[in-house]
Amino acid sequence: MRHSLAIVGLGMMVAALQMPLTAQADPVDDALVIDDIEMVTRTKAPEGHPLDEVRSGWLYREAETRELEADSFQNPGMLYVEQGADIWNRVEGPEGKSCASCHNDAAETMKGVGANYPKWDADAKRPINIELQVDKCRVENMGLEAYKFDAAEQKALTTYIKNQSLGEPVKLDLSQGELQSWWDQGKELYYTRTGQLNFACASCHEANSGQYIRADHLSQGQANGFPVYRLKQADMVSLHNRFRGCIRDTRAETPKAFSDELMALEVYVTWRGTGLSVETPSVRQ
């Protein structure tokens, strides 16, 4: 009798080891509506995508955090949108111009723009994102200096510009210039293990999305809501800041913001969220 019990016990132990060691938690089944615009938070993945369905990080957050994003009044990110609107309309620099001097009303001229970046910059022969596009305008047309990375104004203005595309589906045109080869490089980086912890982006955001890494519910790591209002920082966090944070957490050397590596990664990661709505400013943990 004692003998057979031991065997049963052993059998249970083997069964337990075959189960995943991390707690499984699926993303919620919930609809995100912001100012009467229904957001696409789940959609069929584009051709060539490793996953069947792409999902917004919103689905992986706690109910309170989701609620905060769904109410555009409560969303603290909207404070930065308002700040961005002031910057948009403010005359600055020796040319006496504001963003609005050339681009008029952002609600019309910037609608959809944020959904299609990064684009190919034929002059610089590299991809360009919203932050770099703003810098280009500042230097070439306004006679100003480029913003320092993550300057408060840079984050506010980027948030404002991307917010004009709220609800628009993310779509990149990879046929522009050499964007496809940058996409390839980005993909390479996405799957390359790095740092003392030896993690690739895919280790968490593809192989283990939906599971917990300690207390953190891993999402697919989509870029559609950036810049995001992160409760941890109580501030806007740019995509390149988050890239650097993630890479630092693997205990690797972090590439500089807007470096070739991170621009390639931005092209690829943004593409992975094809079809998701722009949610800027999204709210995350």
Partner 1 sequence: MATPKPRVKLPKTASAGEVVTIKTLISHTMESGQRKDSDGKVIPRQIINKFSCEFNGAPVFSCDIEPAISANPYFEFSAKVKESGTFKFTWVDDDGSVYEDEQTIEVK
**Selected binder of partner 1 within 3, 23, 73, 175 (CB under 8 A):** 73
Q: How many CA atoms lie within 13 A of 70 on its CB side?
A: 16
Name the residue nearer to partner 1 (CB basis): 199 or 229.
229
Sign, CA dihedral 204-189-119-46, equals: negative
Among residues 159, 171, 156, the alpha carbon closest in space to that of 40 is found at: 171
CA-to-CA separations, 129 to 67, 117, 122, 224, 277, in angstroms, rounded: 29, 6, 13, 13, 17
- Choosing from 83, 154, 224, 270, the residue that interacts with partner 1 (CB under 8 A) is 83
Q: Which residue has the tokens 């995509």?
A: 239
93 binds partner 1 (CB under 8 A): no
Q: Would you say 17 or 73 has its CB closer to partner 1?
A: 73
Distance CA 153, CA 137 (A): 15
Phi, psi of 110 (to 5 degrees): -100, 0
**Residue list 153-182, contact with partner 1 (CB under 8 A):** none
Under the binding rule (CB under 8 A), the answer on residue 20 touching partner 1 is no
Nearer to partner 1, 84 or 169 (CB): 84
Among residues 55, 43, 97, which one has the least CA distance to residue 220? 55
Applying CB under 8 A, does 78 fall inside the site for partner 1?
yes
Give the whole-angstrom CA distance, residue 246 versus residue 283. Answer: 18
226-265 binders of partner 1 (CB under 8 A): 231, 234-235
Among 45, 144, 146, 152, binds partner 1 (CB under 8 A): 152
Specify the 3-state DSSP secondary structure of 127.
strand
Helices and strands: H and E segment counts in the chain: 11, 11
Q: Which stretch binds partner 1 (CB under 8 A): 77-85, 139-147, 159-167, 212-220?
A: 77-85
Which of 72, 2, 90 shows the shortest CA–CA distance to 279?
A: 72
DSSP code of 179?
A: H
Residue type, 92: E
Applying CB under 8 A, does 34 fall inside the site for partner 1?
no
Binding to partner 1 by residue 35, rule CB under 8 A? no
Q: Which is nearer to partner 1, 27 or 84 (CB)?
A: 84
Candidate segments 31-39, 78-86, 92-100, 126-134, binder of partner 1 by CB under 8 A: 78-86
Active site residue 246: yes
What is the nearest approach in angstroms of partner 1 to the Cβ of residue 76?
4
Pick between residue 209 and residue 241 the one whose CB is nearest to partner 1: 241
| Residues with catalytic roles | 246
Binding site for partner 1 (CB under 8 A): 73-74, 76, 78-80, 82-83, 152, 231, 234-235
